[in-house]
Amino acid sequence: MNQLLKGIVCLTSFVLMTGFSQQPEKHDRSYYEARKEVVWEVPMDDKLIALTFDDGPNANTTPQILDLLKQYDAKATFFVVGNRMDKYAEIIKREALEGHEVANHTYNHVFFTRRIGKSVIANEIIDTQKKITELTGQHTKWFRPPGGYYNDTVINVARENGYTVIMWSWHQDTQDWNTPGVDRIVNKVLKNARNGDIILMHDNVNGSTQTVRALERILPALYDQGYRLVTITELMEHKTKVDNPFVPE
């Protein structure tokens, strides 16, 4: 029995030391939040909220979302997929021109669920950044890994390339990618809205317009409640300004 136990301990050490395990290194939320390496939300006293839209652009829904945002004087952040940008270059340009932020969601929408080489992750980020800069002149600092799959390597590669990883408020995960129905999306956002929230939505969901229909109700309701809808950069800068009132700009 003792021998068996020793064998198991030995094998476990071998697996850990050689990296034989396919599970990448990952810590819990508080670890990354304390180090300011990953952001889930930006709690604050002021009524600011950041809407984020992933996976686009989409020829049908993204322009409708842009129309609605304009109508309510709302700004948002679009986490775009690099390989969709050439086809929908005009939509990307419109996002930037209308004051929204175009941010990085990898080139091929890769789920970093297993150990992946640093160069693969870096290329996914850098290739997308090149496209964003080419089309908008912007250089984003925000990276959202597809499916929310992050680990130490993903975070470190993002940091080495000048990015902070942006997740979303756990109480603001609308699951709109799964077409749960317009009411559910609306209720998720409105019943949970808090200052500094980062709301997760998708402007590119296969054939679905639920996100657009939900926004038609969410935007006026948040507006009536006194919220200002801002980009991730505005949300972060506002927090910095409030926390450091005497720092010259």
Structure tokens at 211: 């996100």
Structure tokens at 3: 């021998």
Which one of 24-32, 64-72, 139-147, 240-248 is the stretch in contact with Zn ion (CB under 5 A)? 139-147
Q: Which one, 48 or 125, has the nearer CB to Zn ion?
A: 125
Give the max Cα distance, the chain: 72
Which one of 18-26, 58-66, 122-130, 145-153 is the stretch in contact with Zn ion (CB under 5 A)? 145-153
Q: Which one, 8 or 120, has the nearer CB to Zn ion?
A: 120
- What residues contact 178, with CB distance under 8 A and at least 6 apart? none
Instruction: By CB under 5 A, name the one of 53, 146, 158, 218 that touches Zn ion.
Output: 146
Spell out the SS3 assignment of 214-240: HHHHHHHHHHHCCCEECCHHHHHHHHH
Shortest separation between residue 15's beta carbon and Zn ion, angstroms: 31
Q: Which one, 55 or 197, has the nearer CB to Zn ion?
A: 55
Does the protein bind Zn ion through residue 82 (CB under 5 A)? no
Q: Which one, 41 or 55, has the nearer CB to Zn ion?
A: 55
Which one of 34-42, 46-54, 122-130, 133-141 is the stretch in contact with Zn ion (CB under 5 A)? 46-54
Residue 221 CB coordination number (10 Å)? 13
Peptide bond into 180 cis (omega under 30): no
Shortest separation between residue 40's beta carbon and Zn ion, angstroms: 16
Sign of CA dihedral 148, 141, 222, 249: positive
Shortest separation between residue 144's beta carbon and Zn ion, angstroms: 7
Which one of 27-35, 36-44, 58-66, 141-149 is the stretch in contact with Zn ion (CB under 5 A)? 141-149
Does the protein bind Zn ion through residue 55 (CB under 5 A)? yes
Which residues are marked as active site? 54, 202
Shortest separation between residue 1's beta carbon and Zn ion, angstroms: 49
Binding residues among 56-75 for Zn ion as defined by CB under 5 A: none
Q: Which residue has the tokens 């080419």?
A: 134
Question: Contacts with Zn ion: how many residues (CB under 5 A)?
Answer: 3
Shortest separation between residue 52's beta carbon and Zn ion, angstroms: 10
Instruction: By CB under 5 A, name the one of 54, 95, 124, 176 that touches Zn ion.
Output: 54
Sites of contact with Zn ion (CB under 5 A): 54-55, 146
